[in-house]
Amino acid sequence: MTEIWIIDFGSQYTQLITKRSRTIGYSTQIITWDDFEERIQNGKKPSAIILSGGPQSIFEDDTNYKNVFDLKVPVLGICYGMQIIGQFLGGKVERGTIGEYGHATVKQKNHLIEKADKEFNVWMSHFDHLVNLPPGFELILESSNKLIAGILNTDKKILGLQFHPEVEHSDFGREVLSYFYEQIAELKPNWSDEIMMQKCLKEVETVKGHKVLCAFSGGVDSLVAATMAHQILGDDLYCFFIDNGLLRPQDYTHIETLQKNTPLNIEIVDAKSEFLNVVTGIGDPEKKRKAIGVTFIEIFEKKVKEFQDNHKIHFEYLLQGTLYPDVIESLSPHKKGGKSSTIKSHHNVGGLPERMNLKLLEPLRFLFKDEVRLLGQELGLEFDWVHRHPFPGPGIGVRVLGELSEPAIKKVQASDQILFEELKTQKLYQNCWQAFTVLLPVKTVGVKGDARAYEEVICVRIVNSTDGMTATWTQMPHQFLEKVSSRIVNEVAGITRVVYDITSKPPGTIEWE
């Protein structure tokens, strides 16, 4: 089986190499330099290696990367990775005086990458650059300012690229990657929807016969993970949905729909008043998050214990919808940072497995969000269920600015429902990544009926994004905004004004707290 290792040198784009490669049938494993050395010491050998980009300078790096090339397997070096190829195989890298960031044009010398144009636009992000080719290499791509942009040694099957074929901003990125996989490295594809499904199911198979617990939110990840696990575990899977009172009306209807229309065994725990007692009066965003998280764990643990005692069963595993970005986020981005054994705790349930002495089951931990959605649909889940907007663990808790109170939560719930209904009826829901309302604790003057009103403000926030890391505010049709605004001021008590947030991320964040 083809096994491709990406050695991660900390580029912000490393995940995208895996993502883009999968779209052309190749999956890769992202590992640190320490992982690589450990694997080599254990006698392992991949089918090919990709050296990622990285923010550091080769001149400040004293690691000997020679053993990458001693393995005599195909190598693709991207950006920093190409400089490693240059430096260790006898070429010359020069310290940059001015960096090259952003769009650039590259020209193919002999048009070897046939599926790409002779000249195309790419995304560059580097400071140092290669000035002399290592012996045995030919120049295959040159940038418009005459810098070496691509080098190849066909005998050794080594390709170096100064640009990032993995980012959307680079034209022909897929073609360049498939040129490496298919023509240079001659690898057999190792990824397809079928393989993805089998890999996840195999994970669940390992816990067959055991009782498995799931902290179920009804969001895409926990729904797909639970549906998949249910196929193998059946009634040994128990889903607990904690109602913390910080949910939107759409979440309550969704969970009822899932209870009715899926075979999942979903236990709804009404913990509204417990949460309200704890969070009322807390104003600081981080204190709110902490209080909501801690209360979640305490209630979950208590209710599960009661359930186990009452039903005389014992849970051994906790099913989580952890995704690949969460897993690699926990790896040190820097090669010297070493291997981290702690996988980032998943939102609400951080610390739960240790506290409750549960082993983790994370069947989706190899997948990206869009793959999870695809898998969900293949499992027969409805399109709308697997294309819901993300909703943060602390819920409405971070959408009431300042002190939390029951009336404030209700204002967000009511306004969010109006926004949701309008997005659905006007068929705009799928045009955005996230859409929600926030209660601003400021009073402004308005006129309601014949009387002067002095009431609070609702902010409507709608953004487009691909991963939540960056986002742009969405240019919604004016008549849509008008309808939402007019419905909110008319239907939600205590609100006299609606504003629309036109801040992108960065510098803003998606949530207000």
Tell me if residue 164 is catalytic: yes
Least distance to ligand XMP, CB of residue 347, Å:
4
Q: Which is nearer to ligand XMP, 443 or 505 (CB)?
A: 505
Measured N-to-C along each axis, helices 406-425 and 478-491 cross at an angle, to the nearest 10 degrees, of: 140
Q: Could you tell me which stretch among 174-182, 188-196, 315-323, 391-399 binds ligand XMP (CB under 6 A)?
A: 391-399
C-beta of residue 102 within 8 angstroms of C-beta of residue 123: yes
Least distance to ligand XMP, CB of residue 348, Å:
7
- Preceding omega of 55 cis (within 30 degrees of 0): no
What does the alpha-carbon distance between residue 388 and residue 80 come to, in Å, rounded to a whole number?
38
Residue that is written with structure tokens 């725990």 in the block: 269
The answer to the question of residue 467 lying near ligand XMP (CB under 6 A) is no
Residue 34, classed as helix, strand or coil, is helix
Q: Which is nearer to ligand XMP, 298 or 511 (CB)?
A: 511
Q: Could you tell me which stretch among 28-36, 303-311, 485-493, 502-510 binds ligand XMP (CB under 6 A)?
A: 502-510
Q: Considering only residues 102, 390, 407, 441, which one is a binding residue for ligand XMP as defined by CB under 6 A?
A: 390
Q: Which is nearer to ligand XMP, 150 or 393 (CB)?
A: 393
# of chain residues touching ligand XMP (CB under 6 A): 12
Q: What is the DSSP string of 64-89?
A: --HHHHHT---EEEETHHHHHHHHHT
What does the alpha-carbon distance between residue 412 and residue 200 come to, in Å, rounded to a whole number?
37
Q: Considering only residues 32, 434, 437, 474, which one is a binding residue for ligand XMP as defined by CB under 6 A?
A: 434
DSSP 143: E
Least distance to ligand XMP, CB of residue 209, Å:
32
The answer to the question of residue 392 lying near ligand XMP (CB under 6 A) is yes
What does the alpha-carbon distance between residue 225 and residue 221 come to, in Å, rounded to a whole number?
6
Tell me if residue 389 is catalytic: no
Tell me if residue 79 is catalytic: yes
Q: Could you tell me which stretch among 9-17, 162-170, 241-249, 385-393 binds ligand XMP (CB under 6 A)?
A: 385-393
Q: Which is nearer to ligand XMP, 81 or 394 (CB)?
A: 394
Q: Is the dihedral of CA 319, 323, 324, 327 positive or negative?
A: negative
The answer to the question of residue 46 lying near ligand XMP (CB under 6 A) is no
Contacts of 214 (CB under 8 A, 6+ apart): 222, 225, 226, 229, 237, 238, 239, 240, 318, 319, 320
Buried b / exposed e across 140-161, counting CB within 10 Å, b at 16+?
bbbbeeebbbbbbbeebbbbbb
Q: Considering only residues 272, 344, 388, 505, which one is a binding residue for ligand XMP as defined by CB under 6 A?
A: 505
Q: Which is nearer to ligand XMP, 387 or 505 (CB)?
A: 505
The answer to the question of residue 273 lying near ligand XMP (CB under 6 A) is no
Q: Is the dihedral of CA 104, 108, 114, 118 positive or negative?
A: positive
**Tokens matching residue 400:** 């009431």
The answer to the question of residue 511 lying near ligand XMP (CB under 6 A) is yes
Residue that is written with structure tokens 């390709």 in the block: 159
Residue 252, classed as helix, strand or coil, is helix
The answer to the question of residue 219 lying near ligand XMP (CB under 6 A) is no
Which member of 129, 166, 239, 389 is catalytic?
Answer: 166
The answer to the question of residue 459 lying near ligand XMP (CB under 6 A) is no
The answer to the question of residue 267 lying near ligand XMP (CB under 6 A) is no
The answer to the question of residue 322 lying near ligand XMP (CB under 6 A) is no
Least distance to ligand XMP, CB of residue 434, Å:
6
Contacts of 50 (CB under 8 A, 6+ apart): 4, 5, 6, 7, 17, 28, 75, 76, 77, 78, 81
Q: Considering only residues 107, 211, 272, 289, which one is a binding residue for ligand XMP as defined by CB under 6 A?
A: 289
The answer to the question of residue 173 lying near ligand XMP (CB under 6 A) is no
The answer to the question of residue 510 lying near ligand XMP (CB under 6 A) is yes
Q: Which is nearer to ligand XMP, 263 or 390 (CB)?
A: 390
Of 23, 69, 29, nearest to 178 by C-alpha is 23
Buried b / exposed e across 413-444, counting CB within 10 Å, b at 16+?
bbbbbbbbbbbeeeebbeebbbbbbbbbeeee
Q: Considering only residues 18, 393, 438, 485, which one is a binding residue for ligand XMP as defined by CB under 6 A?
A: 393
List, by residue number, the catalytic residues.
79, 164, 166
List residues near ligand XMP by CB under 6 A. 289, 347, 390, 392-394, 434, 468, 505, 509-511
